[in-house]
Amino acid sequence: MPIDILMPALSPTMEEGTLAKWLKHEGDSVTSGDVIAEIETDKATMEVEAVDEGTIGKIVVPEGSEGVKVNAVIAVLLGDGETAADIGTETPAATPAPAPAEAPAPVAAEPAAAAPATAEVPSDPDIPAGTEMVPTTVREALRDAMAEEMRADDDVFVMGEEVAEYQGAYKVTQGLLDEFGARRVVDTPITEHGFAGVGVGAAMAGLKPIVEFMTFNFAMQAMDQIINSAAKTRYMSGGQMHAPVVFRGPNGAAARVAAQHSQCYASWYSHVPGLKVVMPYTAADAKGLLKAAIRDPNPIIFLENEILYGHTFDVPKLDDFVLPIGKARIHRAGNDVTIVSFGIGMTYAEQAAEELSGMGIEAEVIDLRTIRPMDLPTVIESVKKTGRLVTVEEGFPQSSVGTEIATRVMQQAFDYLDAPILTVAGKDVPMPYAANLEKLALPNVAEVVDAVKAVTYTA
Amino acid sequence: MNDYGPLSFKVPEPPVRPGDEPDFSDFEVPKAGTVRKPGVDTDANDIKDLATTMIRVLSREGEAVGPWAEEIDKETLLHGLRSMLRTRAFDERMMTLQRQGKTSFYMKCTGEEAIAIGQQLALSEGDMNFPTYRQQGLLLCQDYPVVDMICQNLSNARDPLHGRQLPVLYSSKKHGFFTISGNLGTQYIHAVGWAMASAIKGDTKIAAAWIGDGSTAESDFHAALVNASVYQPPVVLNIVNNQWAISSFQGIAGGDQATFAERALGYGIPSLRVDGNDFMAVHAVSKWAIERARRNLGPTMIEWVTYRVAPHSTSDDPSKYRPREESAAWPLGDPVLRLKNHLIKIGLWTEERHTQAEAEFDEEMRVAAKEAESYGVMGGGASARDIFEDVYKEMPPHLIAQRQKLGV
């Protein structure tokens, strides 16, 4: 029986890659451990080793193919006595196999539709009609935002661990060192507290630093610099001094990185006066809001997500696409229930809305985009229309962004509510490592659907 | 078979406690003028000895001696002494206001005046200090209005920081005086970042970082040193070792195992240990370090050895943890007296002028305090509107709503 060789996942969050080179060819014999191909992801080039012994019967995906999904069949291995004629004609070429239970990313664990290559985003009211849209990953959009701002303003520079030579731990600063040089793309020592403070000091001297944290989980030791210095100096100095820094990097859970690398800090930072907290979902928002953040004279917390980095969305082709901080976006219109989410929480909200639509429930999905200052008026307008509200986020449930929204909607729109507000969040546990436990700890689409059914009394 | 005895735990103790005779017998004081002066382009490895000795210029006889003794123009010398007297008069007046219940809190810098003033007079306009709460001399030797300083301490209607900041934690960008941080050590990294920015911009300005012996234990201190070592920014890293962090003697911060100056050596940063009660030494060493920074030769650490004569703050009674007579027995003496004697020795100053100057500054502070008090005391006069200003550059809608709700 011929054996399918599948596109391997070379990191927990890899969803697709480029098959850069075949090192074995049809007719070559291989033994377990032989390097048969090279694969490039946006993070690295890696070698694929043969698992089984046999002869390469057919190369299904030619070298140079881009966007090859994890678990797609890339070649077929023949055993003793088998020939190419034994290869079933039904072998699908480059079609994703159903994701196994321990699939790399939580969103990918949902079947096929879970990680749409291009999400359907209603045209943003801030984008002129007829604008050309370019499919772009969130990662590229963030890089483009930084590059554009750095070209426009010599005071903008990037600093952080691995941002220069390595192009960012998640390749978000790709190409910046080449274009802007070591004076403006600065690798730092491994001291989040230290380089956050260096950034604050540089901002006080009149520069506009973008401080990348490898993850916001590491930024906990920089909290004192972010909160006590960056957020409060304008106030304490009577307006004489301030720190226009953007602190950015991945936040929240990725996949298989456990308790100390998976926390969402949206509600933590949203507690602090003096900070603005931005948490985009789409690539267009990532770009437009990061550009706005770099120009903003206040310190900004810009929360990204490792899994979303590889997601592709349409980004308007505009010379200077800047979005307003503090403004939510109606991601999907509907009349029956309002679902408010932000960041990766939007993936659950979006899929739930799709499923609910099949049941005859039309959800209005609001992407908050900015956590502080919070665009409550948009949420309240929607609730006045739907009378029902569900919030969705991956962070811990107590003192969450959802509970904040629930409190304020209850205070300001109580008479419009036809049901209690429900908040969908992560479980109240540190993130476990095991794939099955991790999946349980995060919210899921079914929980969102159930919450909507409960508030619409259709359960 | 186990050859090991039980382990024992060490908590460093100062040589003496209240009731004991002051004892500085283990405190080594090299003779003035005996420590060499390297070129500003020296390598840190070639001056390791300067981190353990003590650079001193003023001899017992009031003469400026040795390689660090240099010509300082008369105006600077007189301004230095007068600023030290002025600072002392300011501290006394603030202490009185606190004891009268007109402000909640105050911190004197008695015995440490030479350090801030000696260095400030070696800095240039546009350079930036990142001070702690005991460098009021940086402002008092400049033209910063003393009434404004008092108004902040009284938190009244004329408080330049609008009733938002603690007494003593001044801020004046114009005077190169960064907003003092109430949590210790953060400013040390800011100075490094500010200096990096100056270099990134291709400017010629430098930063001066300030920290106390106790706060060198903060991670900020070490993070600042590693960043200063890596990027070689134009920054002077000052440690004011005044022996005491409230009741914790410098040994609790690790000062018994190595000098504070020696900490820089592991980072390859040139480091000097200096008599902080010697205005001439302070000014000369500051100039040397500032020259290094300005010539793009990188950071310099300076440990200023001094003694906190005053209590930590108005909330502190030091007689509970150190002998009352200890400050009088301090081997490096009083910085004001030492500079005064030197200036008399070289014919720039007299006892009469000294007495006159003391009276002049006492009167200046009395009048200034009276004016400041007319604008209110103890937080009596800040505008309620100030509570919502300067949280962000532009006031966001929710703060406007809160302000309207308060009716201010």
For residue range A5-61, list pLDDT tens digits in order.
Answer: 888 877 767 778 899 999 999 999 998 888 999 888 766 778 888 888 889 999 999
At residue A126, the pLDDT reads: 65
pLDDT digits (tens, 9 = 90+) for A382-435: 999 999 999 999 999 999 999 999 999 999 999 999 999 999 999 999 999 999
Chain B, 173-202: which have a CB under 8 Å from a chain A CB?
173-174, 178-179, 181-183, 186, 189-198, 200-201
At residue A33, the pLDDT reads: 85
The residue assigned the tokens 């007494």 is B167
pLDDT at B366 over 50: yes
What is the nearest CA distance from A128 to chain B, expressed in angstroms? 27
At residue A92, the pLDDT reads: 42
pLDDT digits (tens, 9 = 90+) for B195-220: 999 999 999 999 999 999 999 999 99
- DSSP state for residue B350 in the 8-state scheme: -
DSSP line for A200-236: HHHHHTT-EEEEE-S-TTGGGGGHIIIIIIIITHHHH
pLDDT-derived band at A445, boundaries 50, 70, 90: very high
Q: Give the CA-trace dihedral at A286, A289, A293, A295, to 10 degrees.
A: 120
- The yes-or-no answer on residue A192 being catalytic is yes
At residue A125, the pLDDT reads: 60
Interface confidence, given as ipTM, is: 0.89
Among B183, B190, B227, beta carbon nearest to A200: B190
- Residues from chain B that touch A295, judged by Cβ atoms under 8 A, are none
In degrees and rounded to multiples of 5, residue B314 shows phi and psi of -70, -10
pLDDT digits (tens, 9 = 90+) for B3-51: 999 999 999 999 999 999 999 999 999 999 999 999 999 999 999 999 9
In this structure, the number of other CB atoms found within 10 A of the CB of residue A359 comes to 12
Across the range B141-153, mean pLDDT stands at 97
At residue A70, the pLDDT reads: 85
At residue A117, the pLDDT reads: 38
Instruction: Pick the residue from chain B with its C-alpha nearest to A273.
Output: B391
Contact A201 B194 (CB under 8 A): yes
Contacts of residue A218, defined as CB under 8 A and 6 or more positions apart, other chains included, come to A192
How far is the CA of A9 from the CAs of A47, A48, A126, B23, in angstroms?
Answer: 11, 10, 38, 69
At residue A39, the pLDDT reads: 87
The gap between the terminal CA atoms of chain A, to the nearest Å, is 48
Among B200, B392, B398, beta carbon nearest to A207: B200
What is the nearest CA distance from B191 to chain A, expressed in angstroms? 6
In this structure, the number of other CB atoms found within 10 A of the CB of residue A183 comes to 12
The residue assigned the tokens 């409230």 is B246
Contact B226 A236 (CB under 8 A): no
Across the range B210-234, mean pLDDT stands at 97
The gap between the terminal CA atoms of chain B, to the nearest Å, is 78
Query: Which of A153, A159, A237 should one mutate to test binding to chain B, selecting the residue with the greatest count of B CBs within 10 A?
Result: A237
Q: What percentage of chain B has pLDDT greater than the value 90?
A: 94
d(CA A277, CA B247): 41
Among the options A261, A311, A350, A393, which is catalytic? A261
Q: Give the CA-trace dihedral at B2, B4, B5, B6, to 10 degrees.
A: -100
- Residues from chain A that touch B201, judged by Cβ atoms under 8 A, are 155, 205-207
d(CA B384, CA B382): 6
Among B196, B390, B397, beta carbon nearest to A235: B390
pLDDT at A94 over 80: no
The residue assigned the tokens 């039309």 is A362
| Number of residues that this document lists for chain A | 459
pLDDT at A156 over 70: yes
pLDDT digits (tens, 9 = 90+) for A251-290: 999 988 999 999 999 999 999 999 999 999 999 999 999 9
Contact B171 A237 (CB under 8 A): yes
Extract the tokens encoding A215.
Answer: 């993850």
Q: Do β-strands A73-78 and A3-6 pair in parallel, antiparallel, or remain unpaired? A: antiparallel
A86: amino acid identity, one letter:
D
Instruction: Pick the residue from chain B with its C-alpha nearest to A300.
Output: B392
pLDDT-derived band at B254, boundaries 50, 70, 90: very high
Contacts of residue A31, defined as CB under 8 A and 6 or more positions apart, other chains included, come to A50, A53
Count CA within 13 A, CB hemisphere, residue A76.
Answer: 19
DSSP line for B27-65: ---PPTT-S----TT--GGGGGGGGTS-B--B-TTS-B-
Across the range A360-370, mean pLDDT stands at 98
- Residues from chain A that touch B220, judged by Cβ atoms under 8 A, are 193-194, 197
At residue A222, the pLDDT reads: 97
d(CA B64, CA B323): 32
In this structure, the number of other CB atoms found within 10 A of the CB of residue A32 comes to 10
Q: Model's pTM, two decimal places?
A: 0.87
d(CA A97, CA A40): 20
- DSSP state for residue A23 in the 8-state scheme: S
At residue A123, the pLDDT reads: 44
Q: In what order do the strands lie in the sheet with A16-22?
A: A45-49, A35-40, A16-22, A65-69
Among B173, B196, B389, beta carbon nearest to A198: B196
In this structure, the number of other CB atoms found within 10 A of the CB of residue B377 comes to 20
How far out from the chain centre does Cα A442 lie?
15
Q: In what order do the strands lie in the sheet with A329-332?
A: A329-332, A363-367, A337-341, A389-392, A422-424
